[in-house]
Structure 1
Amino acid sequence: MSNPVYGKKFASSRKAETRSTLFWVLITGIILFLAWTPFQTALFNGQMLEFEKPIFWAAIFACLLLFLWIAQYYKSIQLKDQRDWLAVGVLLLPLTYILSLISAASHYLAMNMVIINCIYAIMFIIGLYVLRDKLGNRIIQTTIMTVAYLIVGFGLLHWFGQGKIAGAIAKWFSNTVFNGIYRHAVMTDSNGLRLTSVFQYANTYAAFLMAFLFAAIFFITTSRKWYGQAFHSFMLVPIIVSLLLTLSRGGLVMLPIVFILLLLFLKPTKQLLWILYCAIAVVASLLISKSVTDLGLQLNKNFSGSEALKGWGILLGVSLVVGILGWIIQRFIAPKLELALEKWSAKKGSALWIPLGSLMVGGLLIFLFIRTGLKNILPQNISVRLENINFNQHSVLERFTFYRDAVKLLADYPIIGAGGGAWSALYEQYQNNPYTSRQAHNFFLQYLVEVGIVGFLIFMSFILFIFYKYILRYIKDNEENRNSHFLYLIIVLSIFMHSILDFNMSYVFLGILVFLGLGGMAAAMDSKPVKRWNLKNSTASGVYTAFVSLCAIIVLITSIRYVQAAEAAMDARITAQVSSSYEEIKAPLDKDLSIRPSHPDSVLLMSSLYHNVYMQNQDEAFYQLSLQLLNKALKYEPNNKSILKRLIAGYELKQQPEEAYEVLIKNAHKYKWDIEWYEQLINKGYDLGMNALGTGDTAAKNKYFKQATTAFTEVQSGIQYLTTLPDGQLQGRAFKNTPDMILQAGKMYFFMNQPEQASKALKLGILDDLSQTTHQDIVLWYLASLQKQGLSDDALMEKLTQVDPNAKQNVQQLAGLQF
C-alpha cells in the first residue's frame, strides 16, 4: 500500500528538481546570448540587409529564453507590487512602436524596430525576475564583465595587427568575418586609425569602455577575493588605453560627468578609492599611450611579430603593475581609510564634498591637457582631438543641426511619431544642409521622432520611475544590498548619458545590456504593494502568462519568417553576382518578397531583373511587372530614394518622360539638398518644355519651364544659404551648379522671353576655358540674352569666336528668335 505523505514529498521533490533544472538552463541561455550578441554588430540603421539576420536571430533566442522564464517563474507573477507591474509596463514600449506603424515613414524599418523593442522588453522582464535571485544575479554580472573584458582584448588584438587571430575566434560567433578578418574593428576616418572592436564605430565603443571602466573600479572596491581585486585592477589600463585609441571626444567629455554622478552614490571612502584607482590607471595609461599608439599605427600598415610582442609586453607589463597596486591598496590601505573617515562619512552631506572637489580638479586637468604643454605627453592624434574640443568644432555644430532638424521632423509627426527608423527615412527632407547621417546622434530625440510625444512620455516615465525607485531603495539599504545591483546602474547611466551625443542604443547589443540593466535596477526596488490593482494570484498569473506567451509566439514566428526572408535576399544578391540566369535569381527573390513585399533590396534587384529581361526581348509584361512591383513597394516605402530612382529609370526605359518628370517633381521636396535630383528635374523639364514648344503647346511649355526654373532658383537659394553656415561646420555633400543645369535654365528663361533672367543664370557658368562644348553653348546663349536686352560683351564674343568662327552669326540668329 502506497504512502500518500511520501508520494506528496516525492512529487514536491521532483518539481523542485525540475524548476532547478529550468533555472540553470535559463541562466545558461542568458550567458550564451550575452556572449553571442556583441559579435553580431547588430546596428539598426538605414542599411539593414547585412545586419537583419543577427537582429532576428536575437529575437528568436530572446523568445526561447522567455519561454524558459515562463516555465520557471510563472507562479511568481502575482502583480501585487510595483516591480511586477513594471513587467506589464515594459510591454507598452513595443506597443508604442506598433502604434507608430500607422504613420510610419518606412514600414520596413518600423517593423524591424518593433522586433528590436520586443527583444528589449523580453530582456527587461527576464532580468526583473532572474536578477532577484542572488546566485543568478552573481552569475549574470560575472558573465557581463567577462564579455566586456573579452571585447577589450578583441579590440587590442586588432590594434596590434593580429586581426587574423581575432577573426579565427570571432568566426564562431559572427558572420562579419571576411578573409579571416573581423570587419572594421579598427576604422579609418579623417582623424586616422580609430579603435572600434566589435562595434565598428569608435564613439559607441568609447561609451561601452566608459561604462566598464567604472564597472571595473566598482568591482575592485567590492571584491572580497584578492584575485578579483587584482584582476579588475589589471583591466583598468587596457580599458583606458582602448578609450584613448577610439579618439572619441564625446567619450572624453562624458566620462568625467558620469564619474561625478556615480560618486554621488558612494560613501567618502569609496569615493576616494575610486578617484585613486582612476588616477593611477590614467597616469599609467598616459605613460604608455604614445608607444602603444605608434606601434598600433605601424602594425596596421606592416605587421611584425616582434613589434606586436613588444606592444603586448608594454601594455601587459604596466597592467600587471597596476593590478598589483590595486590589490595592495584594497588589502592594506582601504580598511585604514575606512576607519579614518568613519566619523566624517556619518555626517549628513559628506558624500557631496569629494564629487564637487573632483569636478573642479577634473576641469583643471581638462584645461591643462587642452591648453598647455601637458598635452605633449599624448600621441599627436589624441592631442589634436583634445585641442578640437569646443562648441565651434564641426562635429558639435553638426550635432546641433541634427537636433534642430529632428525637432522640425517631430513637428509633422507629433503624437505617435513617424515609426521606427523615421530619422533614417526622412532626414533628407528636413535637413538644414546636405549632410549624410542615418542617425540623429541623440538617442532621446531619435526615440521622440519615432514614437512621438505619447510614446516618449511612456518611455521616460518608465525609465525615470525605475531610477527614482532604485535611488530611494539605495538610500535606505545596507552596503551589501546596495552593491548587489550597482553594476546595472553603472551600465544604464553610462550608456544613456553618452547616448545624448550619439547613437549607442542603435546597437542592439547595447540596448540589450541597458534593458537587462534596467531589469536589474528594478529587481532591487522596494516590493511595495499596489492595492488598487491587486488581483487574485491565479488570475494575474494566468492572464499575464497567456498574453506574454501569445506575444512571444507571434514575435518568434515573425522573426523566423524574417530570417528566411533575409536569407533569401542574401542568396539572391550572391546569385546575381555569379549568374545571369533569370530563374536562379528570381527564385530567392520571390521567397523574400512573399514574406516582406516591400523589402527594399529585393525590390530593387527584382525590378532590375525585370528591366533586363524587358530590354532583351521587349516583352511588355516584364515592364509592367517591374512597374507594379515598384509602385506596390512605394505604398510602404514612400521615402525610399533608391526605389523612386528605379521607378524613374523604368519610365525612361519605356520612353515615358512625362511620368518620370512627375515622380521627380512630386518628390523634390524630400531631397532638397540632392543636386543630382535637381539636375535631373531641370534637364527633364527643359526637354519636355522644348517638345511642347515644338508642338505649339504653349501652356505645357510654360508649365514645364516654370517648374524647372523654380527648381533652379531653389538651388541658387540653397547655394547662397550654405555660405552662411558657421565657419567650423562642414557643408556635407556637394551642392553646386552644374554646367548642364545652368545651360538648360538659361535657355528656358530665354524661351520664356526673360532675357535678363537668362543672362543672370548663364553668367554663373562662364569659365575661362571654353574647350568644352557645354561651356561654349553657355557663352553663346549668354551673349544672345545680352543682345536681346540691347547689351553686349565684346571681349567674351571675341573669345568665343576663337573657338567658334560662326559665333557672331549664331548669336544674332538666336537673338532674333521670336516666341
Structure 2
Amino acid sequence: MANPVYGKQFKASTEDGKRNGMFWVVNICLILFLLWTPFQIALFNGLSFTFEKPIFWAVLLSGVIVILGLIYFYKQVKLDDQRDMISLLIILLPISYMISMFGAASWHYAVNMVLIQWMYAFIFIIGAYMLRDRLSNRIIQMTIMGSAYIIIMFGFINWFGQAPLGGKLVGWFSTAVQNGVYTDAIMSDSNGWRLTSVFQYANTYAAFLMAMLFAGLFNVSRLKKWYDHLLHGFMLVPIILSLILTLSRGGLVVLPFVLLILLLMLRPAQQILWIMYMVIAGVATAIILNPVTNIGLQMIAKYDGVTAAKGWGYVLITSLIVGLLAMAIGRFVAPKLESKTEGWGARRFASVWLPIGSAVLGGVILLLLIATNLRNLLPANIRVRFENINFQQSSVLERFTFYRDALKLFRDYPFFGGGGGAWGASFEAYQNNPYVSRQVHNFFFQYLVEVGAIGFIIFILFIGFIFYKYIRGYIKSKREVREGHFLYFIIAVSILMHSLLDFNLSYAYMGILVFLGLGGMTAAMDAKPLKRLKLKAGVMRGIYVTLIGLAAIIISFTSLRFTQAAKDVVDVAELAGSPNATYEQYRKLLDDALSIRSTYPEAVVYMSSLLAQGYQQTKNEQFYNEDLALLDKAHAREPYNKEIVKQLINLYQVHGENDKAFALLVDSIPKYKWDITWYEGVLSQAYVLGNQAYQSKDKAAEQKYFQTGLTVYQQVLDGIQYLKTLPEGQLQGREFDVTPKIALSVGEIYMMQGETAQAVDVLKKGVRDDLSDATNKQAAIYYLAALKKEKQNDQAVYDKVIAADPKAKEQIDAIANQQYTTTK
C-alpha cells in the first residue's frame, strides 16, 4: 500500500515551485558544472599541485551555484521537516574536516580537503532542494546520463588510437590535455594497457562504469519512449565493453553484490527486464570482445585509420543491434511482463528469488571463467586478470596491508583524525613494507584516518539515515513516485560499494556524483515534520540561508585566492625549464604564492632553493635567515613532507652546520623508514663526516658518526630480513636492499676501522655488472682493494673493472696500501 504522506508531499514539492528565470539559471549552471567537471577534476583531490587549480575552480563554481540556488528556493527553506534538517546537518561533514586541521599531518592537504568537503556540501544542498522539482530532476538525470555516455565514447576515441582527436575535442577547456592528447586516457601498468577515459585510473573508471551500467538498465527498463529504449539500450554494449577493458578485478567482484542489492529494490517485471538486457548486451559484447581488444592494442602500438574504423564498426553496429532489440522488448515484451507479473509481486518473498538466483548464476559464470578453460575464450590480457582473481594475489594482500597500516595511523589520531590527505602525507611513516600508495584503497578507512572516530561516526550516521529513510519511503511509495529518484540511489550505492576496495572518492568528480546522489535521495524522502523544533519558519530560514550563504561566499573567495597561488606555482615549475629565467621572475611568482598560502609546500621548496643559491653565491646571512624561517614554519605545518626536510638539510649543509644536518637526517629515518635512498644519504654523510673528523683528529666525533652509520646499516639489514617474511604472492614494493652507494659508505667505514673482512662482506653486496655508473665502479674498486688487504682476489670482478677502466689498478693498490690510525 502506498504511503499517502510520501506521495502527497512528493506531488506538492514537484509541482508547486515557481519556475522563474532563476530556476533556469540554476539548472543551466548545474548542467554546465556536471559537463565540465569530468574533464577537469576526475583527478586526485589535491595531492599534487598540478591538480589543484581545476579543483579550486570547481569549489568556487559550486559556491556560486549554491548562492544562486538559495535565491531561487529561499521560500522552500522552512526547516520544519527531516529533509530540511538533513540539508542543515550536512555542514557537520566539512566542519569535522575543519576540526581535523588542528594537528593535521599536512596543513596544506587538510585545508584543501576542507574546501572540497564544502563543495560536496553545496552540491548536496542543491540536490536536496532543486531535485524536488520534477522538471529539474528530469533535466539533471538527463545531464548525468548524457555526460556519462560522452565520457564512455571519449574512452573509445582514445582506445582506437584517435587520442589527438580527443585532445582537440576537449583541449579548449580541459587542463588535462597535454601535448595535444588527454593525459593517461589509456594507462599502462604491470597488467598491460587499461582503458581509463577521463579518470586516469582504471579501477575508478570501472566503478563509474558499474554505476552507469545499472543506471542505463534502470532507464531502458522504466522509460516508455522508443528513443529512450534505443539510446540506453545502445549504450549497454559500450559500457560493458569499457568495463572489461579496464581490466579491473575489483569491478567484476563488486558488480554482482551491487546488482543483487538493486534487483531487490525492483518489481519482478523490472528484475526480468534487467536480466534480459544484461544477457543480450553481455552476449553481444562477448562476440566482439576479442577483435575490439586486439584492434585497440594494435592502435596503441601504431595507428591505422582503416583498422580503427573497423573497431568502431564492431562497437557501433553491435550497439545498434542491441538498441533495436531493446526497442522491441520495450514495445512488445515489457507490457506483457508487467501484466503477467502483476500478481507475482504480491506474493511473499516473490521479489527475492530472482535476484538471488541471478547472483548465484553470475557467481557460477565468474567461477567458470576463473577456474576452467572457459577463460581461454577471452583475450590474453583479460584472461590473465581472471586467472589472478584469488585472495593470495598481490593486490588483495597489499590492500589488507594498507588497512592495517591505516589503523596504525588512526591510533595516533583517534578522535579528530590526521586531517585531509593524512594518509598521502604520512603513509611512509606507517607502512609495513616499501609499497608506493598515497591512497588507502578503501574510502571508509581513509575517511576514518582523516577525521577520526568522531567525524567518522557523524558521516556514517549521516549517510546511514539517508539510506534508511530513502529505502523505507521507496518501499512504501507508489511506483511513479519511487522511480523518480532511484537513479541517485543507484549512483550512490554503486560508487560507495566499490569504494570499499578502492579510492574512488579521492577523485573530486566521483565525490560530486555521490553527494548529488545523496541529495537526490534526500529530495525523495518523506517529509516527516520535526516535532520538537518550535522556532518560526522565517527565523529558521534566515539562520540557514545566512549560514550557508556566508560559508559559500567565504569558500568561493578562498578558492579564488588559492587558484591564483596554484597558478603561480605551476608557472614557477614551467619557468624552471627556461634557461633565461631571472631571479626576479622566480621571486615575484613565489612571493605572490606564499603571500596567499605561507606554507605552500611546492612554493616553499622552490623559494628555499632560490634563497640557498643566493646564500651560496653571496654568503649574505640575510638569505640564510629568511630561508631558515621559511623552512622552520613549513616544517612545523608539514612535518612529513620529504622535500621540505631535504631543503632544510641542504640549508644546514651550505651554512656549514653539518651536525644539525646529520641529526635531522637520522631523526627523520622513522618517517621514511622504507626509503632506501634516505639510508643512502645518512650512510654517505656518516662516512664523509666521520672521515672529516678523522682528518682533524677528533676521535669522539669520528666514532659518533661511524657508529651511527653502522647502527643505521643494521636497520637496513633488519628491514631486508623482515621483507623475507612477507606472505607469498605479496610484492615488497620499492627496492630495499644494500645498494652500491650503501655498500661503498659502510665498506669505507669498516676499512677505516681496520675491519677489512667485514668491509669485504659489505662491499661484495654492492658489486654490480654496470660499471659505467661511477658509484658502481667505485664500490667494485673498494671491494677489490679490501680483498687485496685480506690477501684475496676476485678475478672475474677484477677483469671487468680493468676492462672498464685500465687506470683502476692504481686506485685499487692505493686504497689497499692505505693505513689508518683510527680505532673502534
Partner residue, 2:163: 163
Partner residue, 1:633: 634
Find the aligned partners of 2:644 and 2:817 in 1 and give their Cα distance: 46
Indicate yes or no: 2:776 matched with 1:775: no
Find the aligned partners of 1:87 and 1:121 in 2 and give their Cα distance: 9
1:144: how far off?
A: 0.6
Partner residue, 2:341: 341
Partner residue, 1:680: 681
Contact kept? 1:416, 1:454, Cα under 8 Å: yes
Contact kept? 1:79, 1:535, Cα under 8 Å: no
Find the aligned partners of 2:412 and 2:703 in 1 and give their Cα distance: 33
Find the aligned partners of 1:549 and 1:292 in 2 and give their Cα distance: 50
1:366: how far off?
A: 0.7
Indicate yes or no: 2:24 matched with 1:24: yes
Find the aligned partners of 1:565 and 1:123 in 2 and give their Cα distance: 25
Q: Deviations over 1:356-406 (max 9, x none)?
A: 111211111012222223223321111111111111211111111111111
Partner residue, 1:611: 612
Partner residue, 1:105: 105
Find the aligned partners of 1:135 and 1:773 in 2 and give their Cα distance: 75
Percentage of identical aligned residues = 50
Indicate yes or no: 2:89 matched with 1:89: yes
Partner residue, 2:54: 54
Partner residue, 1:210: 210
1:219: how far off?
A: 0.4
Partner residue, 2:479: 479
Residues 692 and 197 of structure 1: is their aligned pair in 2 closer, same or farther, counting only changes over 3 Å?
A: same
Range with greater deviation from structure 2 (723-732 or 440-449):
723-732
Q: What are the residue-to-residue correspondences of 1:110-509 with 2, within 5 Å? A: 110-509=110-509
Q: Deviations over 1:413-472 (max 9, x none)?
A: 111111101111001111111111111111111111111111111111101111111111
Partner residue, 2:591: 590
1:809: how far off?
A: 11
Find the aligned partners of 2:769 and 2:195 in 1 and give their Cα distance: 47
Aligned partner letter, 2:35: A
1:36: how far off?
A: 0.6
Residues 606 and 780 of structure 1: is their aligned pair in 2 closer, same or farther, counting only changes over 3 Å?
A: same
Contact kept? 2:237, 2:281, Cα under 8 Å: yes
Residues 811 and 49 of structure 1: is their aligned pair in 2 closer, same or farther, counting only changes over 3 Å?
A: closer
1:597: how far off?
A: 1.1
Contact kept? 1:268, 1:341, Cα under 8 Å: yes
Q: Deviations over 1:207-234 (max 9, x none)?
A: 1111000000000111011111121111
Range with greater deviation from structure 2 (602-611 or 321-330):
602-611
1:631: how far off?
A: 2.1
Aligned partner letter, 1:345: G
Residues 644 and 229 of structure 1: is their aligned pair in 2 closer, same or farther, counting only changes over 3 Å?
A: same
Q: Deviations over 1:344-366 (max 9, x none)?
A: 22111111111111121111101
Aligned residues: 797
Q: What are the residue-to-residue correspondences of 1:626-665 with 2, within 5 Å? A: 626-665=627-666
1:773: how far off?
A: 4.2
Contact kept? 2:435, 2:732, Cα under 8 Å: yes
Aligned partner letter, 2:220: I
Find the aligned partners of 1:306 and 1:746 in 2 and give their Cα distance: 61
Partner residue, 1:3: none
Residues 766 and 323 of structure 1: is their aligned pair in 2 closer, same or farther, counting only changes over 3 Å?
A: closer
Contact kept? 1:41, 1:200, Cα under 8 Å: no
SS in 1 for 2:629: helix
Residues 520 and 590 of structure 1: is their aligned pair in 2 closer, same or farther, counting only changes over 3 Å?
A: same
Aligned partner letter, 1:189: D
Aligned partner letter, 1:665: V
Range with greater deviation from structure 2 (134-143 or 45-54):
45-54
Residues 280 and 760 of structure 1: is their aligned pair in 2 closer, same or farther, counting only changes over 3 Å?
A: same
Contact kept? 2:230, 2:327, Cα under 8 Å: yes
Find the aligned partners of 2:204 and 2:429 in 1 and give their Cα distance: 27
Find the aligned partners of 1:216 and 1:809 in 2 and give their Cα distance: 77
Find the aligned partners of 1:328 and 1:767 in 2 and give their Cα distance: 68
Find the aligned partners of 1:304 and 1:488 in 2 and give their Cα distance: 41
Aligned partner letter, 2:681: Q
1:794: how far off?
A: 5.0
Find the aligned partners of 1:769 and 1:172 in 2 and give their Cα distance: 47
Contact kept? 2:43, 2:200, Cα under 8 Å: no
Find the aligned partners of 1:818 and 1:116 in 2 and give their Cα distance: 59
Partner residue, 2:622: 621
SS in 2 for 1:193: strand
Partner residue, 1:787: none
Find the aligned partners of 2:68 and 2:319 in 1 and give their Cα distance: 41
Contact kept? 2:760, 2:783, Cα under 8 Å: no
Aligned partner letter, 2:340: A
SS in 1 for 2:102: helix
Find the aligned partners of 1:574 and 1:810 in 2 and give their Cα distance: 46
SS in 2 for 1:414: coil
1:106: how far off?
A: 0.8
Residues 162 and 779 of structure 1: is their aligned pair in 2 closer, same or farther, counting only changes over 3 Å?
A: closer
Range with greater deviation from structure 2 (118-127 or 634-643):
634-643
Indicate yes or no: 2:722 matched with 1:721: yes
Range with greater deviation from structure 2 (619-628 or 602-611):
619-628
Range with greater deviation from structure 2 (113-122 or 613-622):
613-622
Q: Deviations over 1:228-286 (max 9, x none)?
A: 11211111001111111111111111111111111111122211111110111011001
Aligned partner letter, 1:235: M
SS in 1 for 2:193: strand
1:697: how far off?
A: 3.9
1:815: how far off?
A: 8.5
Contact kept? 2:45, 2:508, Cα under 8 Å: no
Find the aligned partners of 1:224 and 1:624 in 2 and give their Cα distance: 73
Find the aligned partners of 2:766 and 2:187 in 1 and give their Cα distance: 40
Find the aligned partners of 2:815 and 2:669 in 1 and give their Cα distance: 36
Aligned partner letter, 1:777: Y
Contact kept? 2:743, 2:779, Cα under 8 Å: no
Aligned partner letter, 2:598: P
Q: What are the residue-to-residue correspondences of 1:705-716 with 2, within 5 Å? A: 705-716=706-717
Aligned partner letter, 2:779: T
Contact kept? 1:434, 1:734, Cα under 8 Å: yes
Partner residue, 2:69: 69
Residues 101 and 809 of structure 1: is their aligned pair in 2 closer, same or farther, counting only changes over 3 Å?
A: closer
Partner residue, 1:702: 703
Q: Deviations over 1:161-215 (max 9, x none)?
A: 2222222221233122223221211112222221111111111111111100000
Find the aligned partners of 2:265 and 2:696 in 1 and give their Cα distance: 80
Q: Deviations over 1:14-67 (max 9, x none)?
A: xx9986111111111111110110010342356422211111111111111111
Find the aligned partners of 2:166 and 2:820 in 1 and give their Cα distance: 71
Aligned partner letter, 1:378: L
Find the aligned partners of 2:822 and 2:590 in 1 and give their Cα distance: 55
Find the aligned partners of 1:307 and 1:807 in 2 and give their Cα distance: 61
Q: What are the residue-to-residue correspondences of 1:771-810 with 2, within 5 Å? A: 772-778=777-783, 780-781=785-786
Structure 2, unpaired ranges of 5+: 1-15, 803-807
Find the aligned partners of 2:241 and 2:798 in 1 and give their Cα distance: 63
Find the aligned partners of 1:435 and 1:660 in 2 and give their Cα distance: 27
Contact kept? 2:204, 2:504, Cα under 8 Å: yes
Contact kept? 2:784, 2:793, Cα under 8 Å: no
Find the aligned partners of 1:794 and 1:317 in 2 and give their Cα distance: 74
Find the aligned partners of 1:121 and 1:810 in 2 and give their Cα distance: 68
